[in-house]
Structure 1
């Protein structure tokens, strides 16, 4: 069995590893000429770290990660705690896998190190995908034509493959944008910050947590906006822009934003849910299939789960059975990923409620839930082992 994976992000690398474990000969193609350190923090819940363990990379990821003992939800104006939930050892014991927070580059590096260099083709831009009854084909910008039994399009939120498969379909601006920054630990040591926290306020929320073994503080400051913002890893904010957006917030939030050196600004986009991700021998995976707002911290996790199931359905397949195997992959993953898209969007609405009765009622609900449960409501998804879910919905 031969596969071509298009895109060497988190989803594409995880898919490559999962397919290789299933005995598939994989060629991973990526348009950038080399891997670079881009992005910032990623949260990895137990549903994702369970898969990383199976892929043989969890130890390498965990060695570079932070392991927060709990998550704290706080009020925007004075930092008073609404509630907190257990993570750390309690979550690892309960769910059989850890909750980690990592720099995206550290996760990417661990995944890339597990892929044999001869399987990777960097500097290769895909300009077309087509197929016939027996094979799938990728055409590169140089005119080269690569052939395999299947093609996995993990080419991200701006996926060209999605348009080739399903027609014109643009990414949708979510109505939110964010500032992100990384601060050395010693620059915020005096603020007594919780290890992982979300501060909730009108039309805004502010998230911070440690990455890279606690050496860096990852900061994400989200705000609602009607003006569509650029979706970019590298677009820099204007000096002081982030402070103007968060005027009046708790002094610790403002001190973090003030001390941030390089601040990036990016628009948050999603993709409209699809009824299927595959056509014949070609399928989407990760953000190309189900990009979501990050308010449940499950975007990367869902791509990793896709990768696990894709490898599982192809483990016993023959080349002739690829279309049926991809049907099984989509049946096993589409409902869960689509549900997480909706839950993430709903969480954003809840986080941004205006001061007054609505926010007070939300805080009361959160406090009451935390009094009865050790783990966050979304922790129900952490228990799921996608490789034990053999039912095909």
Structure 2
């Protein structure tokens, strides 16, 4: 069995490793000239770290990560705690895998380190995908044609493969944008910051947590806006723009934003959920299939889960079985991943961003829930084994 994976982001790397463990020969194509990963921190819940353990990369990921003992939800104006939920050792004992926070580049490096170099072709841009009954093919920008039994398109949020398979669809602005920055821990030592905190305020929220073993502080500041912002990981905000958006917030929040200096600003966009991801011998995976807003911290996790199920679906398949195996993969993942897409979108407006009496009612609900539950409301999903087998 031979597969071509298009895109060497987190989803593409995880898919390559999962397919190789299933006995598939994989060629991984990446348009960049070297492995690289932009962005900043991401959170990895136990549903994702369980699969990283199966890929034999969890130890390397955990060594580069931070391990928060809890997550604290706080009021925007004075930092008073609304509630907290257990993570750390308690979560690992309960769900069988750790909750980690990590710099995206560190996760990417851990995955890339165990992909054999001979499986990777960098500086290779795919310009077309096609197929017939017996095989699937990609065409590169240099005119080369590569053939395999299946093609996995993990080409990200602006997926060209998604458009080739299902037609063009426009990104829809969510009405929110975010500032992000990563700051050295040494510059934050005087602020007594919780290890992982979400500050909730009117039409805004502010998230921070340590990454790279506590050496860096990852910051994301989300705000509502009527002005469509660029969907870019590298666009810079105007100097001190972030301070104007978070006027009146707790001094610790303001200090972090001030010390961040030049921050990046990006618009948060949604994609229309698909009703299928695959056609014949070609399938989507990760953000190309189900790009989601970040309000449930599950974007990377869902790509890793896709990869796990894809490998599981193909491990006993023959080349002739590929279309049926891809149907199995999509059938096992589509409802769950698109459900997470919808929950993430709702969380942005219904949970994170209300004001006035609605916010007060939300805080009361959160406090009441936390009084009876050790773990966050989404935690039951961390227990599910995506391969459909008991842990």
What band does the TM-score fall into relative to the shorter chain? over 0.9
2:353 paired with 1:344: no
8 Å CA contact 2:202–2:356 kept in 1: the answer is no
Other-structure match for 2:102: 102
Higher mean C-alpha deviation, range 100-109 or range 173-182: 173-182
- Separation in 1 of the partners of 2:231 and 2:120? 26
Change in CA separation of 1:64 and 1:353 when aligned onto 2, cut-off 3 Å = closer
- Separation in 1 of the partners of 2:85 and 2:350? 18
Within-5 A mapping of 1:231-242:
231-242=231-242
2:335 paired with 1:335: yes
Other-structure match for 2:139: 139
SS of the residue 2:274 aligns to: coil
- Name the TM-score, length of structure 2 as normaliser: 0.98
8 Å CA contact 2:239–2:261 kept in 1: the answer is no
Q: How far is the alpha carbon of 1:170 from its aligned partner?
A: 2.2
Other-structure match for 1:47: 47
Q: How far is the alpha carbon of 1:224 from its aligned partner?
A: 1.1
2:177 paired with 1:159: no
Other-structure match for 1:245: 245
Change in CA separation of 1:301 and 1:354 when aligned onto 2, cut-off 3 Å = closer
Change in CA separation of 1:211 and 1:183 when aligned onto 2, cut-off 3 Å = same
- Separation in 2 of the partners of 1:389 and 1:328? 15
Other-structure match for 2:216: 216
- Separation in 2 of the partners of 1:353 and 1:19? 40
Higher mean C-alpha deviation, range 35-44 or range 149-158: 35-44
Other-structure match for 1:20: 20
Q: How far is the alpha carbon of 1:389 from its aligned partner?
A: 5.0
8 Å CA contact 2:101–2:211 kept in 1: the answer is yes
Within-5 A mapping of 1:372-383:
372-383=372-383
Q: How far is the alpha carbon of 1:120 from its aligned partner?
A: 0.5
Within-5 A mapping of 1:217-366:
217-366=217-366
SS of the residue 1:189 aligns to: coil
Deviations along 1:310-343, whole A, 9 cap, x unmatched?
A: 0000000010010000000000000100111111
Q: How far is the alpha carbon of 1:352 from its aligned partner?
A: 4.1
SS of the residue 2:232 aligns to: coil
Structure 1 residue runs of 5 or longer lacking an equivalent are none
Deviations along 1:135-168, whole A, 9 cap, x unmatched?
A: 0000000000000000000000100000000011
Other-structure match for 2:3: 3
Other-structure match for 1:148: 148
8 Å CA contact 2:235–2:264 kept in 1: the answer is yes
Other-structure match for 1:193: 193
Other-structure match for 2:113: 113
Q: CA RMSD in A?
A: 1.0
- Separation in 1 of the partners of 2:171 and 2:326? 24
Deviations along 1:236-276, whole A, 9 cap, x unmatched?
A: 11110110111111111000000013311111122111111
Q: How far is the alpha carbon of 1:172 from its aligned partner?
A: 2.1
Q: How far is the alpha carbon of 1:364 from its aligned partner?
A: 0.7
8 Å CA contact 1:76–1:249 kept in 2: the answer is yes
8 Å CA contact 2:240–2:261 kept in 1: the answer is no
SS of the residue 1:18 aligns to: helix
Other-structure match for 1:183: 183
- Separation in 2 of the partners of 1:385 and 1:373? 22
SS of the residue 2:361 aligns to: helix
SS of the residue 1:89 aligns to: helix
- Name the TM-score, length of structure 1 as normaliser: 0.98
8 Å CA contact 1:204–1:351 kept in 2: the answer is no
- Separation in 1 of the partners of 2:324 and 2:18? 18
Q: How far is the alpha carbon of 1:356 from its aligned partner?
A: 2.2
